[in-house]
Chains A and B, each alone.
Chain A
């Protein structure tokens, strides 16, 4: 056995993270459009404005990680249906296109008036007239694109985990729980990105709408963080009670070189502290039915921590997984 080297580095971590943020932002935006309509309009818009860019940066970093970056187009000459990476390359391209269309539909005025549809000519001599889209049509288009994009966004979120989970040779990755964890983490980091931008931008409009949107984002994030915690717990139980190779692969997270980063960087900073901040804010809303207090500082802090936690999670899993290995049982 050759000594273990890291062949997938920070660029892959960044790629998995950004794809997750994009998928999450898109999904949250679509969810807000369907659940709130006008009430959550700002959230929908911020999500749509974010969605296309991180994934494009991520795809660029994936391409730079190749030994032949200029020949990446080989990926798009074929569909290898047994290879998660091939399916993922197509899925991410599709998602980028859909999220760009969605982005265009959410562009605010006055740029939105650049979106025009041709009118029917009266006769052949008059030139075609192009009129701006009316609001009703745009609303329908936003809903349709959000509905088409939602399953694709879920697919992208899941793909980032399946990419790692599909290799039996790495026992730390080869569990269905990695895909679940990455999907929920993608949604959570997407919601956090929206929350962060919403907190940084000077809020417009009345306080009522701000409370509404804040409550929506924070309760969504709390829910996702709780789900993440209840995915991490069975992950450790499952691995610890599994075969020798699987249980040994946990050692790197329980006393090995990634222990501090995982438990401090992801579990504490990325899950528990944001959960505490957001839970503290949400508590009076749920139990005493008061309005949520709008503190941009706390919201920004919680969102930043969730984003950092998502990055740390992917860093730890990508690097620790490469060290994990079948144990040599062949000492005969």
Chain B
């Protein structure tokens, strides 16, 4: 995939999701759990199912979700030890040694993206597969997605996949009213009900 040749502080990693392409196969959840060794029963990413309409005019939209890596992360703001921090390329990460498990960040996250990892005795969440990203590989969920519903890239690079998608299609983000400036963009569904 595309890796921009800019300095980290100029980069802004984002996800672009195409809910129209998601079929709720949950392969992203499996590959994430395998890649990041999430404890049994806990997931760093998940599929939200949005049901609209009433019989017989029904539709279901699948929204792939994970940590939104917000530009203004409430979890980072409330962390009392500074364990949650924001890297200069915009990734919101956790220093698991510094995390004492007060769970305040879980209260603050409007997306409920965080969970307690009993094995690490710390709070855990999506890292944007930072270890793969730094090695030039795509996140595990993006690589495995069979419908190409998940895209990732640098939104500051006009030639990246995500910039091209966002220039072409209208998009929205979740709970923007919370002032979090999330980094997951969703392409509008074309499906019309009425």
Contacts and interface: CB of A to CB of B under 8 A. Distances in A.
Interface of A: 1-2, 4, 7-8, 62, 65-68, 71-72, 74-75, 77-78, 80, 82-86, 89, 163-164, 166-170, 322, 325-326, 328-332
B98 interface: yes
A326 B102 contact: no
Interface in B51-105: 52, 61, 63, 65, 74, 77-83, 98-104
Which 6 residue pairs of A and B lie closest in terms of their CB atoms, listed nearest first?
Answer: A67-B101, A169-B110, A86-B80, A85-B80, A74-B81, A167-B108
Nearest to A90: B80
- Residue among A62, A322, A326 with the highest chain B CB neighbour number at 10 A: A326
B86 to A, nearest CB: 12
Given A68-B122, A83-B80, A330 B100 contact: no
Interface in B97-124: 98-104, 106-110, 112, 115-116, 118, 121-123
- Residue among A7, A68, A84, A326 with the highest chain B CB neighbour number at 10 A: A7
Contacts of A167: 74, 78, 104, 107-108
Contact of A330 (B80, B81, B174, B179): B174
Given A83-B77, A166-B78, A330 B172 contact: yes
B15 interface: no
B178 A169 contact: yes
A89 B80 contact: yes
B172 A326 contact: no
B152 interface: no
Given A74-B98, A74-B100, A332-B189, A326 B110 contact: yes
A80 B74 contact: no
Interface of B: 43, 46, 48, 50, 52, 61, 63, 65, 74, 77-83, 98-104, 106-110, 112, 115-116, 118, 121-123, 172, 174-175, 177-179, 186, 188-189
Contacts of A77: 81
Contacts of A330: 50, 63, 172, 174-175, 186
B107 A8 contact: yes
Contacts of A164: 107
20 contacts: A1-B48, A2-B115, A67-B121, A68-B100, A68-B122, A75-B100, A80-B82, A83-B78, A83-B104, A85-B78, A85-B104, A167-B74, A167-B78, A167-B104, A169-B110, A170-B107, A328-B50, A330-B50, A330-B63, A332-B186
A322 B110 CA distance: 11
Contact of B81 (A67, A78, A82, A169): A78
Nearest to A88: B80
Nearest to B186: A330
Given A67-B121, A168-B178, A169-B74, 17 more contacts: A2-B46, A2-B115, A67-B99, A67-B101, A67-B116, A67-B118, A68-B100, A68-B121, A75-B100, A78-B81, A80-B80, A82-B77, A83-B79, A167-B74, A326-B178, A329-B175, A331-B50
B82 A67 contact: no
Contact of B172 (A71, A163, A328, A332): A332
Nearest to A12: B103
A80 B52 contact: no
- Residue among A74, A75, A82 with the highest chain B CB neighbour number at 10 A: A74
Given A7-B116, A330-B50, A78 B82 contact: yes
A169 B107 contact: yes
Contacts of A78: 81-82
Contacts of B77: 82-83
A75 B77 CA distance: 15
Contacts of A71: 100
A60 B77 CA distance: 24
Contact of B52 (A83, A84, A331): A331
B81 A7 contact: no
